[in-house]
Structure 1
Amino acid sequence: MARNELILTDVTKRFGGLTAVDALSLKVESGQIYGIIGPNGAGKTTVFNCITGIYKSEEGSVNWRGEEIRGMTPYQIVDRGIVRTFQTIRLFSQMSVAENIMSGRHIKSRQSWWHGIIHTPGSRRDELENWKKVEEQLDFFRLGEYAASPTGSLPYGIQRRVEMARAMAVDPTLLILDEPAAGLNDKETLVLLETIFKIRDKGVTVLLIEHDMDMVMEVTDYLTVINFGKQIAEGTPEQIQKDSAVIEAYLGSEDDDDE
């Protein structure tokens, strides 16, 4: 039986007089692909920022595998196996694909920078282990042919895969994806879908925000819908598609835009 790995209880985040996240509660099970959806400005990315330590919520609990992580630094949270990507790609454009993936391994290093400079046996073992992990991600994400290419010279869809490969190089237990399909064409989105399923099949739990509703309904096991920072629905994709509050707040807003 799957266990609850990530539990948010009454999480509230305010910016001055604006309540961006309002008493949000959700439970993400081990091995799930869990989605958070809602209109623009609903508070979705703020939720991710509260989970990953970029923001500290004023109220509520963020519990990871039985440990309270609210108030921890992003570094401490990554060290516990929670890794994220961002809505806007954050790669080193002049560095190669392999070097970008390697940059995600720094948190796993057991040696200090000084050991790296003087090339101790421990630092050499670290480097060999890290490059082995890079090679694994190049293969997993089908990026081998681009390994030596400057990342900034590559198509947007390839850069998205590089960003995910860098995150996976950290060996996460929970991978958080912030709008991974943004800017992708249909073919690239299909590759993304296949990749997310492959990540789940490796035993990694996935939590994502996404505006591509077709993609969300196909890839997720369970969804939470928020509007103005509050949860308005939760359930399977089939349940969410039939929920009147969701149709009005989210799907209905798209209809209004077409008028």
Structure 2
Amino acid sequence: MAKNDLVLENVTKKFGGLTAVDRLDMEVCQGQIYGLIGPNGAGKTTIFNCITGIHPCEEGRILWKGDDITKLPPHRIAAKGILRTFQTIRLFPQMSVAENIMSGRHVKSSQGWWHGIMHTPKSRRDERENWLKVEEQLEFFQLHEFTVQPVQSLPYGLQRRVEIARAMAAEPSLLILDEPAAGLNDKETMGLLKLVFRIREMGVTILLIEHDMDLVMQLTEKLTVINFGKKIAEGTPAQIQQNKDVIEAYLGSDDDD
């Protein structure tokens, strides 16, 4: 039986009088590609923000490998191996591809600030190791030819690849992808599909939000569907496709006419 890596228990998030996430339970198993879907405004990104510590939840708890991470700040959650990308790409536009990927390594550094200033042996070892990891990501994501280019000069699809490479440079156990196919053409989307499978083969658990339903159904092993912050369905892609509550949430019911 697969072990649960990430567990959400009764998670609730409110903004004033609005309940964005309402008593959500969810379990993501180790090595799984898990999808979180729902109509626009359903609360999906808010859930990701709660998991990664950006938004504290009012009720419930979030467990990672058995540890309660509900109240931890984002940098400590990242240090535990939970890394994410964003719906809107957040890179350093004037920095090179390699430098952007290197920025993802900060959560792995164990040296104090004085090591860098004094250029100690520990600092030099750390820098060598970091650049080796950057080199691995450049190779894995096929970005070598763009190593020294500023990311703002790259087309959108390549920028998305750089963003995922930066997250992978931190050696995540859980990679959270927020609409990774947004803005991609058909060829880029197919490349993303293959890339996510390759990342999973490395032992990384993947949790994603995605509006491209064809991609979701090909990629994920299990799905949670939410609407107005509430879970309305959970199951395999085949089960979700046949679920009347999901169909109603996306397409509306006859009573809505």
Same fold (TM over 0.5): yes
Deviation string 1:42-75 (CA, Å, 9 cap, x unpaired) is 0000000000000111001101111110010001
Q: Runs in 1 of length 4+ with deviation above 2 angstroms?
A: none
SS at match of 2:163: helix
Equivalent residue, structure 2, for 1:227: 227
Equivalent residue, structure 2, for 1:42: 42
Equivalent residue, structure 2, for 1:195: 195
Equivalent residue, structure 2, for 1:93: 93
Equivalent residue, structure 1, for 2:207: 207
Equivalent residue, structure 2, for 1:161: 161
SS at match of 2:11: strand
In the TM superposition, 1:89-128 aligns within 5 A as: 89-128=89-128
How far off is 1:120 after superposition? Answer: 0.5
Identity %: 70
Q: Distance in 1 between matches of 2:22 and 2:187?
A: 37
Supply the RMSD in Å over aligned alpha carbons.
Answer: 1.3
Q: Distance in 1 between matches of 2:166 and 2:111?
A: 20
Q: Distance in 1 between matches of 2:118 and 2:195?
A: 39
Q: Distance in 2 between matches of 1:85 and 1:189?
A: 16
Deviation string 1:65-122 (CA, Å, 9 cap, x unpaired) is 1111001000110011100010010000100000000001111112122211221100
Equivalent residue, structure 2, for 1:141: 141
| Letter aligned with residue 49 of structure 2 | N
Q: Distance in 2 between matches of 1:7 and 1:251?
A: 30
| Letter aligned with residue 197 of structure 1 | F
How far off is 1:216 after superposition? Answer: 0.5
Equivalent residue, structure 2, for 1:53: 53
**2:79 equivalent to 1:79:** yes
TM-score when scaled to structure 1?
0.96
TM-score when scaled to structure 2?
0.97
SS at match of 1:21: strand
Q: Distance in 2 between matches of 1:213 and 1:240?
A: 11
SS at match of 2:35: strand
How far off is 1:181 after superposition? Answer: 0.4
SS at match of 2:198: helix
Unaligned runs of 5+ in 2: none
